[in-house]
Structure 1
Amino acid sequence: MSTQLPRAISPLAEDLREKIISDPGMVLDDQDVMRALIAANERNTGVAAANVVDLRGLAMERLEDRLDRLEDTHRSVIAAAYENLAGTNQIHRAVLQLLEPTEFTEFLTALSGDIAQTLRLDAVRLLLETKVEDEDPALKKLGDVLITAEPGFIETYITAGRNIPARPITLRQVAPETNVIYGDTENFIHSEALMQLDFGPGRLPGLLVFGSEDPHMFRPTQGTDLLQFFSGVFEKMMRRWLG
């Protein structure tokens, strides 16, 4: 029979003990308390901290890493949203500028001038397929923005001669053989957006071309929703101009 007397516990300590037993999470969720308990245990047992596996500490580190990754993702999403909003505003301004001209020559001038500046483009070209006998000599007086080509050129240019369907909108880096499109500026254009235009039954197609010195401005992995909107408005306006 043991003669050891029970250890005396003060009323305050007993009250704290009951709280911890009833709600241990109160202690486990407090990092400072857990560190103090571990440190006290190491002092009493003489075990070096390096030899103790702190499972809670490892769990906390993993949670902190996950939180950091989530914060990085959150910042990336916000940055992408702002970039998309800026792009949307640019396209909207360009469309309004597209609606202002009252003559076709002013329309083309705005395309290579104000609109190109708004969209931060280094080159804008409108290519029209036309038969030689139907080509209007007046078209050559409208500046570098408007160029003509024989029927079938647009599909060949977009597909680079490969046996694949030509997509309505193509984003890519510029191929070397682009002098037909950009003329003297070909060596400065490193990426382009190609937008096919349908002018209606009985008319040959057209191609709206955006060129940039930045090789990363137009990439195949980018979305094309905004360019589809712009080219759709442009297509309808061209139908009006062509009568």
Structure 2
Amino acid sequence: MDGSQGGMDGLPLEPAAVRRFLSDNPEFIRDDAGLLDELGLRVAAGNVVDFAPAALARVHAAHQREAMQRQQIEAVARANFSAQAQTHGAVIDLLDARNHSDLAWRLDELAQHRFGLTAAVVALEAEARVPAGWTRLVEGQVDLILGGAQRLARMGFAPTALPLFGARCDQVRSMAMVRVAMWEPARQGLLAFGSADPQGFTEEMGVELVAFLARVVERTAERWPIL
């Protein structure tokens, strides 16, 4: 019987037909050492085909998959915990700011030294000047950078955001940006982080921690009046 040719009518054999053939011709597998080896089987005492090696191989493979998945979950959990711890430390640093320029300086410093980023910027739409260390934007520029009036955040690479980072813009390959609104009436602005790694910030990433820092910057900046 040539299984590669299918049944007598030239069509592939049905599983039921294969089962019947093996039941009627048990020596087909038992006496074929090469086939037994390929299937991971062996003939035990009493001419019984032993499926233990194949079963053990499947169990071992399943165990390896579970171990890899567990390691991946643990790695993600450790990374999240580390990011949260660094963010909480950053909040304490920001709350110690003495004025608007000190707030911008502290934000940039923690971005570089706590998170290993290229830069962090506070930008504000304003007709005149903005606090020292902040970046001035024209009206509507926040919507343009984020990609729409309804967007609160943007992750990834946005060419229109490169000017935010001034002299360091050539080093920035990805960004995390969150809309901010400060004072009354609300003044529109952005909190932006820049990374030299193209995969540092991607569209698939969550924005929760960055948004949390943005809210901290908003509340801290409102301690002092805008000049």
TM over 0.5: yes
- Match among 83, 101, 105 for residue 87 of structure 1: 83
Matched, 1:123 2:128: no
Are residue 40 (structure 1) and residue 36 (structure 2) matched?
no
Shift of 1:130: 1.2
- Secondary structure of the corresponding residue to residue 83 of structure 2: helix
Residue 180 of structure 2 aligns with which residue? 197
How far the C-alpha of 1:241 sits from its partner, in A, is 2.5
CA gap of 1:150–1:92, structure 2 versus 1, over 3 A, is: same
Which among 48, 55, 61 is matched to residue 51 of structure 2? 55
CA RMSD for the aligned pairs? 2.3
Instruction: State the SS of the aligned residue for 2:87.
Output: helix
Match of 2:212 in 1: 229
SS at match of 1:214: coil
Structure 1 residues without counterparts, runs of 5 or longer: 1-36, 46-51
Runs of 4+ more than 4 Å apart:
none
Mapping of residues 1-243 of structure 1, within 5 Å: 38-41=43-46, 53-131=49-127, 135-136=128-129, 139=130, 142-143=132-133, 146-159=134-147, 164-175=148-159, 177-242=160-225
Give the letter for the 2:86 counterpart: Q
- C-alpha distance after superposition, 1:54-88 (max 9, x if no partner): 43432222222111100100000111111111111
CA distance change for structure 1 residues 100 and 200 in 2, over 3 Å: closer, same or farther?
closer
Over the matched positions of the two proteins, sequence identity in percent amounts to 24
Hey, what does 1:27 align to over in structure 2? none
Q: Distance in 2 between matches of 1:157 and 1:125?
A: 14
What is the number of residues matched between the two proteins?
185
CA shift at 1:201, angstroms? 4.2
SS of the residue corresponding to residue 242 of structure 1 reads: coil
Opposite residue 115 of structure 2, the aligned amino acid is L
**8 Å contact 2:93–2:106 — kept in the other structure?**
yes
CA spacing shift, 1:178–1:57, aligned 2, 3 Å: same
TM-score, structure 1 as length reference: 0.68
| Residue 35 of structure 2: aligned partner | none
How much does 1:178 deviate? 4.1
Flag the structure with higher strand content.
2
Kept after mapping to 2: 8 A contact 1:151/1:204: no
Unaligned runs of 5+ in 2: 1-41
Between 1:212-221 and 1:57-66, the stretch displaced more is 57-66
| Distance in 1 between residues matched to 2:167 and 2:217, nearest whole Å | 26
- The structure with more radius of gyration: 1
Deviation at 1:184, TM superposition (A): 2.5
